[in-house]
Each structure stands twice: as C-alpha cells, then as structure tokens.
Chain A
C-alpha cells in the first residue's frame, strides 16, 4: 500500500536509522509511504562517513 511519496531530508534519514525519540516522532509520518532521498543526501551521507572516519 502506498500512502504517498515522501522525500526525506538527510537529518530525517539519520534520525530514523539511529532510532530513539526522534525516530518515534517521525515514524508515523513515513509509515506506509514510498520513501525517497535526493542525490544531495547521498553525498552528505558519504561526507559524514568520511568526516567521522567510519570504516577505519
């Protein structure tokens, strides 16, 4: 079931992936919807990974 499409900004992606109170707050707004991210968010995720030295 698709209740609409939502384009998530980068911080909402990180909130949802981290879990916790912010994830709980946003969850009802994205549940059942088609979720999309912009390519700039992909770039920012890579930037954050590089900045935080993930994988090292």
Chain B
C-alpha cells in the first residue's frame, strides 16, 4: 500500500544505481525529459539490482522544488518492470536492424554477426578489387591524419 504525500508515478529506464551503505539511489531516465533521482532502502536493493538497464514504472513519494515544481527526487515505494517501448517497432524492421533497445543489451560480436546473417569469409579474395576509389588514392593517410587531428579544432585540415 502506498502512503504519504505527493505520490507520483514515472516511467523510464533505470540507470546509475549507487548502492550506498547509508543511502542508495538511482536514476530513472524517461523517454522525454530529464532523469529523475530515485532513492531506495536496503529492502529494495535486490529489486533495483535486477531492474538495472530495464524500463520500469516507479511509484513513490516525490520531493519537488517549491519554486519550479520540478521533481527533485522520488523515494521509491514500488518498482514495476515494463516492456521496453523503444523496441515495440522492431518486429517490422529487417532482421539485424539495430534499435535503441539493442544499445542496452551488449551482444557479443558473434551474436551481432548471427543477427546480421554474416558468415565467416570463405574466400577473402572476393574482396580484392572492390575498392571504389583508386588504389593509390591516399585513403589510409587521410584516415591516419584524421585520427591525429584535434577534434576540438572544429574542422579537419
């Protein structure tokens, strides 16, 4: 049962959990808007741990900035794991198409290859002569120069 004042519900991805000795906190990143700091107690640590990286609904008591009305933090009362809304359209995409959901799943190279239907190179010589530019076009030197250039300079020279 949820008790207390200013009970709020938010939905988002649960990230950056900090299991402190005296105070534990995490962040819930909604699809739109700024992340919300969420506080939880010792009894909720395991529940938070299994829901890290997942999309959740948080119900809890919010503290708000009295001037702006912005939620400063929520003391978690309940956590509910939800289906990831960012992956709902994936069924209509070609197999292997990366989605936002994939960003959080850290597949291995082999798993990516399987999803993209990439097979081992049975005859690597089939790659020879497929370069669209000239053989002596200086591509490798350009990339080397790019890697050594100052990204803060704003342009490649």
Contacts and interface: CB of A to CB of B under 8 A. Distances in A.
Contacts, number: 81
Contacts of A23: 127-128
B146 A44 contact: yes
B89 interface: no
Interface residues on A, range: 20 to 34
30 contacts: A5-B113, A10-B140, A11-B144, A17-B131, A18-B129, A19-B131, A19-B135, A20-B128, A31-B121, A31-B123, A31-B124, A32-B120, A32-B122, A34-B118, A35-B118, A35-B121, A36-B109, A36-B113, A44-B146, A47-B142, A47-B146, A48-B139, A48-B142, A49-B132, A51-B142, A52-B133, A52-B137, A52-B139, A52-B142, A54-B133
Interface of B: 109-110, 112-113, 118-125, 127-133, 135, 137, 139-140, 142-144, 146, 156
